[in-house]
Structure 1
Amino acid sequence: MKPQYVLPFERPIVQLEEQLATLEAQPGPTPTTLESIRNMRVEIAKMKREVFENLDAWQTVQVARHQDRPQARDYIELVCDEFIELHGDRAFGDDRAINVGFAKLDDCKVLLIGQHKGRNLQERNECLYGCAHPEGYRKALQKMELAAKFNLPIVCLIDTPGAYPGIGAEERGQAYTIAVNLREMSMLPVPIICIVIGEGGSGGALGLGIGDYVGILQFAYYSVISPEGCAGILWKSVKFADQAAKALKFTGRDLLQFGIVDEVIQEPLGAAHRDHRAMAITLKQTILRNIKSLENLPREELLERRYQKFRRIGEFEELIVVDEPAANAVTSTT
């Protein structure tokens, strides 16, 4: 799948792909042409591997935000055999930034929650680029509690730059609603699978991120703040967003090392925006594998493991350096 929008570091790949398309379009190819096509395909695969295996943190952010990257509704269409959407929070409205519904993946029935940014201008205005209001988080929690009554696993697909920061959202209890989600998700007695599929920004992502399994796609990121926000605070300019991205250490590799995520899910060669279907297959396999590993755990063990998982985040060891001459001096005077 050729991306409609090309990132700067993808241009050499796209140029080769265009040359390949020209060769393949020639009628009656000669043996020499066929050999050139084979060599070019090998070269393109090699270039994709070299480029995408060596992305820095800021380039990873660009891929996570790619306009052609599959979003929650794309995965719903590709992964789910059935999906029945549920609407509204019974208090204020239906937040389109968060899609919730009962889904069927092969023989497995789940409640699926996905944050959606929107594909076109109309969708983006409805979804506010994936920035949910309090009613979105209330809707998600109400449906999660319903799933728990029916003993259904919960799957959360996270993709948001952050919760909506507007006055109306704050007046309706944005921070409080997210905090309630954190508390209640920690106590739901069913398996919860959380996967960051694009951007995992701040509390907006964490409001759906308390689970027994937390995964992240290879070119997604999960952070307390966006690189631009961090650069604005530290350097007073978004021009330093690339430096902020590096300092935040929010890529999958870093998060796995810190114990914040359980797995980095590999994307197809050239990233998910080049092959939606292959990424959807991998995502579905990951979801089903983890549900199977969690579904037979006793309720008490499931909740205790989830609690300990998040208690361990942020642990560090403190190294006390002792000045040897000073220590000897103290020892000699005692």
Structure 2
Amino acid sequence: MATHYLDFEKPIADLEAKIEELSLLSSTAGSFDSEIEGLRKKAEQLRKKTYGQLDPWMKTQVARHPQRPHFVDYVDGLFTDFTELHGDRQFGDDQAIIGGLARFRGRPVVIMGHEKGHDTATRLTHNFGMARPEGYRKAVRLMDLAEQYALPVLTFVDTAGAYPGLGAEERGQAEAIARSTERGLTLGTPSIATITGEGGSGGAIAIAAASRVLMLEHSIYSVISPEGAAGILWRDGARAKDAAMAMKITGPDLIGLKIVDRLIEEPVGGAHADREAAITRVGDVLAEELEALSGLTPAQVRQARADRFYAIGRLEKGG
């Protein structure tokens, strides 16, 4: 797969293009090993420096990177015996949210997540990760199943928001999101939500009302997209960067507001730069968090989750 470079990565792209050019020349015009090694070190240093000082708009671009791992990649990398369950038993099957039963490091779990797709065909199949009401009703059905069999629930969030189309609204989009959020809050088994890319609006929180909310280092989580906020505030979607800078949508701010519980470090260059390492790191953190939640009674799980959400945005009195 050809590497996709973001706008702010142009200096890195130029260096790596030069490395590729010298590598090709080496086969016909002699060795350029020392020059290539020097350029590789320079590119790595530049990548580390660049990703060490990303602003919120840059992180928004990284969160949306087309080569970032998606839900199907986490399923392949972290779970075994995955059995997908389809449909909401009312209208149909929404492939923007995929879910089912699986084993995580030998432990049975229920998993679900937004899937955006990797190419034109799969993006259309999965509606770019924007779920319709039947997607959220499927999520409720999966959570009911998890509680019935006392299984933990692991969700993976990556969506710009719920689908706002006419058909979705006619079938009760807002009510479906509310029911899914409510079911997550009342679930009697431990649940962990991981924001893997873009967590947008109610479409995200509908499967992120969990016991623990984790977030990859360069992901974003917000009540509205920067473009949407810019359109409302200034009637100019081109000011999305200004909105992103003001919205507190990145990890450090969300940790401070107690909206997110833990950040998961990404490889240098983002999760798309080393997909296998990023997926493995997510798995290690999920294992730690699941272990911390094990042994709780259903009442304790519900109380701990309630306490967590009541604490969001709460200001502590000064000394």
TM-score, normalization: structure 2?
A: 0.94
Task: Tell me the CA shift for residue 298 of structure 1.
Answer: 2.8
Q: Deviations over 1:236-258 (max 9, x none)?
A: 10111100001101011111111
Does the CA contact (< 8 Å) of 1:178 and 1:207 recur in 2?
yes
Match of 2:158 in 1: 159
**Matches of residues 267-306 of structure 1 in structure 2 within 5 Å?**
267-306=266-305
How far apart, CA to CA, are the structure 1 residues paired with 2:294 and 2:23?
49
Q: Deviations over 1:1-27 (max 9, x none)?
A: 862x22111121122223333444525
Does the CA contact (< 8 Å) of 1:156 and 1:208 recur in 2?
yes
Which amino acid letter does the alignment assign opposite residue 193 of structure 2?
C
Q: Deviations over 1:146-171 (max 9, x none)?
A: 11211111100000111111121112
Does the CA contact (< 8 Å) of 1:147 and 1:154 recur in 2?
yes
Match of 1:218 in 2: 217
1:184 to 2:159 alignment: no
How far apart, CA to CA, are the structure 2 residues paired with 1:48 and 1:103?
36
Match of 1:329 in 2: none
How far apart, CA to CA, are the structure 1 residues paired with 2:29 and 2:209?
56
Q: Deviations over 1:221-248 (max 9, x none)?
A: 0000111111011101011110000110
Task: Tell me the CA shift for residue 134 of structure 1.
Answer: 0.8
How far apart, CA to CA, are the structure 1 residues paired with 2:64 and 2:216?
13
Match of 2:105 in 1: 106
Which amino acid letter does the alignment assign opposite residue 218 of structure 2?
F
Tell me how large the CA RMSD over aligned residues is.
1.9
Q: 1:274 to 1:298 in 2, by over 3 A?
A: same
Task: Tell me the CA shift for residue 122 of structure 1.
Answer: 2.0
**Matches of residues 22-171 of structure 1 in structure 2 within 5 Å?**
22-24=21-23, 26-27=26-27, 33-171=32-170
Does the CA contact (< 8 Å) of 1:82 and 1:105 recur in 2?
no
User: Secondary structure in 2 aligned to 1:81?
Assistant: strand
How far apart, CA to CA, are the structure 2 residues paired with 1:275 and 1:124?
22
Greater Cα shift, 136-145 or 19-28: 19-28
**Matches of residues 248-267 of structure 1 in structure 2 within 5 Å?**
248-267=247-266
Does the CA contact (< 8 Å) of 1:160 and 1:199 recur in 2?
yes
Does the CA contact (< 8 Å) of 1:101 and 1:112 recur in 2?
yes
Match of 2:243 in 1: 244
How far apart, CA to CA, are the structure 2 residues paired with 1:263 and 1:201?
18
User: Secondary structure in 2 aligned to 1:272?
Assistant: coil
How far apart, CA to CA, are the structure 2 residues paired with 1:24 and 1:288?
42
Which amino acid letter does the alignment assign opposite residue 266 of structure 1?
E
**Matches of residues 300-319 of structure 1 in structure 2 within 5 Å?**
300-316=299-315
| Paired-residue identity, % | 40
Does the CA contact (< 8 Å) of 1:218 and 1:252 recur in 2?
yes
Match of 1:228 in 2: 227
Q: Deviations over 1:157-208 (max 9, x none)?
A: 0001111111211121111111112222112111101001111000000100
Task: Tell me the CA shift for residue 105 of structure 1.
Answer: 2.2
Structure 2 gaps of 5+ residues are: none
User: Secondary structure in 2 aligned to 1:293?
Assistant: helix
Match of 1:199 in 2: 198
Q: 1:236 to 1:280 in 2, by over 3 A?
A: same
User: Secondary structure in 2 aligned to 1:118?
Assistant: coil
Does the CA contact (< 8 Å) of 1:92 and 1:135 recur in 2?
yes
Structure 1 gaps of 5+ residues are: 320-334
Q: 1:29 to 1:293 in 2, by over 3 A?
A: farther
Does the CA contact (< 8 Å) of 2:190 and 2:301 recur in 1?
yes
Which amino acid letter does the alignment assign opposite residue 247 of structure 1?
A
Q: 1:34 to 1:261 in 2, by over 3 A?
A: same
TM-score, normalization: structure 1?
A: 0.90
Q: Deviations over 1:111-157 (max 9, x none)?
A: 11010111222222222211101110010110111112111111000
Q: 1:29 to 1:151 in 2, by over 3 A?
A: farther
Match of 1:209 in 2: 208
Which amino acid letter does the alignment assign opposite residue 135 of structure 2?
G
User: Secondary structure in 2 aligned to 1:186?
Assistant: helix
Task: Tell me the CA shift for residue 317 of structure 1.
Answer: 5.9
